[in-house]
Amino acid sequence: MNANQFLKAVSQLQGWRECAFLLALAERAFPNYALFADAVGMKSGGKMRQLLDLAWDTLQQEATEAAIPQLLTKLESLSPNVDDYDAYGVYPAFDFCQLLEQALLNRLNPNKHRATDASQLATRTIMDFVEMSEGEELDEDQLVRLFEQHPLLKEDKIFQRDTVLALKRQRTPLEDFIAELKADAASDGVSNLGISLDS
């Protein structure tokens, strides 16, 4: 699947498949939030974990009209304000919150396509991290080469592509399938930035 085919496949995701894709992106980014919350003493990692699990549950059962707005309000209260922190980690943490917000908004309004922007946001988080940690002295050409060859960006590409392919093949959101999708995205607690909840 080349880049154009991938973009087309993402743009065709609808309904539960689109929501599952958004949740998979959020799941993969979750450690970025949990580690940041822990580092700054926000004590909200556990609450956010519960919220993410509840969002996954909406794929299996129809969420009530009132439930999703409540989850969105909860998410807003747990989201860090990027202007309040001096640490770089607030940006990947906030990006995670945006991905989860898109998944919840998808349940409220499934007719608005969100997967393409979310896919790009998830990749952008990694590019910003790579540039910040390894690309400060590089000119534009060197930076492009760094992005092209970077293992984190290669892994992200494979993860997103495999997720889309799995969703395209699956007819209904069966419990086993969703559990496997979630476990793959969780990647044993290692985020899309290669940082681990155990570290």
DSSP secondary structure of the chain: --HHHHHHHHHT--HHHHHHHHHHHHHHHHHHHHHHHHHTT---HHHHHHHHHHHHHTTTSPPPTTHHHHHHHHHHHHSPPGGG--STTHHHHHHHHHHHHHHHHHHH-TTS--HHHHHHHHHHHHHHHHHHHH-TT--HHHHHHHHHH-HHHHHHHHHHHHHHHHHHH-SS--HHHHHHHHHHHHGGGB-TTS-BTT-
Averaged pLDDT in 10-residue chunks for the chain of 199 residues: 94 96 98 97 96 94 83 98 96 98 95 97 98 95 97 98 97 96 97 90
Residue 199 confidence (pLDDT):
64
pLDDT attached to residue 158: 97
Question: What's the pLDDT score for residue 65?
Answer: 72
The answer to whether the predicted template modeling score (pTM) of the entire model surpasses 0.75 is yes
**Domain extent listing, the chain:** 3-188
CATH 1.10.10.10 fits 3-188, yes or no: no
